[in-house]
Amino acid sequence: MTKTPAKVGVVMGSDSDWDKVCKTCETLAQFGVEYEVRVISAHRTPEAALEYSKSAEGRGLCAIIAAAGGAAHLAGILAAGSVLPVIGIPVAGGALDGLDALYATVQMPGGVPVAAVAVGGGGPVNAALLAVQIIAQADPGMREKYRAFKESLKEKVAKADAGIQEKVKSI
């Protein structure tokens, strides 16, 4: 049996980021999006980062997700070497608790765009959802899966509201 080629590259600067990045992979899997995962450091293996990004399109990727903390240059170096959309996850931690990673991710120079998602728990999931939205632009089936996901969010909120209304009545 042949494995379906990956559509999203998920790259982290350190294997210590896996506990956060695994949420990205779980979310992609929920949508049936094939992905590949790598540990590549912008600072310790910059040649590998550029090679990865330069070869991504030819391997069939549609987007790259880059998770990094600290100086967080990973998303930028991947964006510099590719025409694919790059989504940066600023990883919380270190002396500045992710603020440095956020600044590094959002302060890209003109001509080298990187989409940035939240620092913290929502970031890894939102990075996957943004990649799903990118893929859905050319895949009507994926668009319908995403539309159903959005509807499920509405249903969850309505259910939560109904539960709260019942609790308020009992006060």
**Residues 37-63 pLDDT 10s:** 999 999 999 999 999 999 999 999 999
User: Smallest Cα–Cα separation from 27: which of 156, 145, 160?
Assistant: 145
Please state, in angstroms and as integers, the Cα–Cα distance from residue 135 to each residue in 8, 24, 51, 109, 140, following that order: 9, 15, 23, 25, 9
Instruction: Mark whether 101 and 153 lie in a shared domain.
Output: no
Instruction: Mark whether 132 and 99 lie in a shared domain.
Output: yes
Structural domain count, the chain: 2
Find the domain containing 67 and state its range: 8-138
C-alpha 129: how far from chain center: 7
Percent of the chain with pLDDT over 90: 89
Q: What is the mean pLDDT of residues 4-16?
A: 95
Residue 85: DSSP 8-state:
-
Residue 1 included in any domain: no
Return the pLDDT at 1.
56
Instruction: Mark whether 153 and 99 lie in a shared domain.
Output: no
Pairwise CA distance, residues 28 & 41, whole Å:
23
